[in-house]
Amino acid sequence: MSAQPLTLQGRILKMERAGTSVLVGDRLGEGGQGVVHAVTIGGAPYAVKWYRYAASGELRKSIAALVERGRPHRAFIWPIDLVASHELGGFGYVMPRLEPRFSSFAQLVARPEQPPFRVVIAIGRHLISAFEALHSVGLCYRDISFGNLWVDPDKADVAIIDNDNVGLDSGEVFVWGTLRFMAPEVVRREAAPSSLTDLHSLAVFLFYLFMHGHPLEGVKTDSSYSWAENEHHSETDLAMRHFGTEPVFIFDPNDPSNPPRPGDPVSVWWRLYPKFFRAVFERAFTSGLRDPSGIGRVAEGVWRRALTRLADCVYACSCGASVFFDPDDPEHRCWNCNNIPPRPRLLELPNCTVVLSPGATITPHHLSRNRDQDTVIGIVENHPARPGEFVLRNTSKSTWTMTPPGESAKVVEPDRRLGIRPMSIDFGSAHGNITS
């Protein structure tokens, strides 16, 4: 491939489908493949990626197909048109401009204090939804990694960039991925990136998000690097071993050969979470390493259900620390004070249980098990007059009926609150019971 001159600023590029001419503005960034500049179309901010080298015709066809297909989920910063120049050979594509409110996931994970648990869980849920939408239309991403996933922690929002990596499972491969996120069979070059290998990369990413470390880098990994020089193993050979031929999960319940490094914070984070949530990671990095099929890997639906359940477990210890109520281990001690937190009030619904702590929400998903987890129809708040007690506010447009034991039924109109105590609640579409 021959290098192309990249003095783009001030040049005019023409959009292939729209026929619109765009003036190239400031450079926003660059990478191994190309350079990204700002452009404005119809007064709105966009960006153009122009390839640093004369890219192949297959890559051009692949991106043109993405343009034609349209983005599968709002999180993807998706190509919307190809662009060309009368003065330069080659091509590029126009995409929405990444808003400045987003920062890299690496910055989020490196923060000394992470956002509240419910925010982190919402971020994970939005990632899962985005990749589930991508995979459902037969596409794979191929390079899930820190460089390509961005986040707005204030809004628990995500953005996925560099979507020229995306293609059909059976399509030509232009990007193989980032080593520490690659599935073992991709590291070994026994398989090309696909939606199934994306599932491994996604699990690694979620492990970083929740546990703040890599699932395969432990004591065994470190020790091999220390004696590598004597045994003349290259870093490439070691990477193949650790991530390709002999990967071992640092919390593998049946193989203790690669535990976390002494003092590694990942051990503290791991113990914070309920057993049911840790079990999903155990599956992802035991059977998921050995069986790269849809049976061995953890699918998005499994992650989605686990994250929804995890969000419903958040509450606070008497010391003020944010903790999780683990139904499989109700006497699990607080990570901060080492005491057993007081048992929370629980809302028992036909298909789930919600811990009633400030910030907890009730959504249509809880009542009818649909996918709507963003419409809040009820929210738990601190009692306005009684410190330490909570109320449930009806934020829906429907009337609820509450019946405390031994009392007559009472109506809860929209925007009214009810004190949280043992009772049954008729939400209209489902019945629930608040238990102690």
Asked if residue 314 belongs to a domain, the reply is no
Residue 321 domain-assigned (yes or no): no
Total count of domains within the chain: 3
Band (172; pLDDT cuts 50, 70, 90): confident
Do 116 and 86 sit in the same domain of this protein? no
Tell me, what's the pLDDT at 4?
47
> Two tokens at 292?
């790269």
Quickly state the pLDDT bin for 113 (edges 50, 70, 90): confident
Q: How confident is the model at residue 228 (pLDDT cuts 50, 70, 90)?
A: very low
Are 282 and 419 within one domain? no
Count of residues making up the chain: 436
Domain residues for 297?
103-306
Please determine, for residue 65, whether its predicted confidence score (pLDDT) is greater than 60: yes
Same domain, 116 and 63: no
pLDDT at 239: 85
pLDDT band at 225 (very low <50, low <70, confident <90, very high): low
Backbone region of residue 410 per phi and psi (left: phi > 0; alpha: psi in -120 to 50; beta: other values): beta
Note the pLDDT tens digit of each residue in 367-381: 988 888 889 999 999
pLDDT in the model for residue 232: 53
Domain endpoint, select from 96, 128, 148 = 96
- Assess whether 51 and 119 both reside in one domain: no
Q: Are residues 167 and 275 in the same domain?
A: yes
DSSP symbol at 64: H
The CA-based angle 335-211-300, given to 5 degrees, is: 125
276 and 151, same structural domain?
A: yes
Residues 350, 265 share a domain: no
pLDDT reported for residue 69 = 94
> Is it the case that residue 7 has pLDDT exceeding 80?
no
Q: Give domain status of residue 333, yes or no.
A: no
**Does the pLDDT of residue 119 top 50, yes or no?**
yes
Burial of 342 (0-12, 13-18, 19+ CB in 10 A): exposed
In this structure, the answer to whether residues 67 and 196 fall within a common structural domain is: no
pLDDT tens digit string along 248-290?
A: 999 999 999 999 999 999 999 999 999 999 999 999 999 999 9
pLDDT at 357: 95
Instruction: Find the CATH number of the domain harbouring 430.
Output: 2.60.200.20
Q: Looking at 284, 306, 328, which one is the last position of a domain? A: 306
* Lookup: tokens for 101: 């409110």
Determine the number of helices (DSSP H) and then strands (DSSP E) in the chain: 13, 23
Listed residues 96, 111, 146: the one ending a domain: 96
One domain, residues 408 and 287: no
181 assigned to some structural domain: yes
Report residue 408's pLDDT band, with 50, 70 and 90 as the boundaries: very high
Residue 229 has pLDDT above 60, yes or no: no
**Residues 356/389, Cβ–Cβ less than 8 Å:** no
CATH, residue 44: 3.30.200.20
**Closest by Cα among 318, 362, 311 to 343:** 318
CATH of the domain at 124: 1.10.510.10
Specify the pTM: 0.92
Q: 351 and 284 share a domain? A: no
Is residue 256, in this structure, part of any structural domain at all?
A: yes
Average pLDDT over residues 97-115: 88
Classify residue 144: in a domain, yes or no: yes
pLDDT at 124 over 90: yes
131: helix, strand or coil: helix
In a shared domain, residues 247 and 394: no
Q: 141-171, pLDDT tens digit by residue?
A: 999 999 899 999 999 999 999 998 899 887 7
Same domain, 231 and 296: yes
339 within a domain of the structure (yes/no): no
Q: Is residue 320 part of a domain?
A: no
Spatial CA neighbour of 329 closest among 250, 276, 269: 276
User: Crossing angle, helix 195-211 and helix 117-136, to 10 degrees?
Assistant: 180
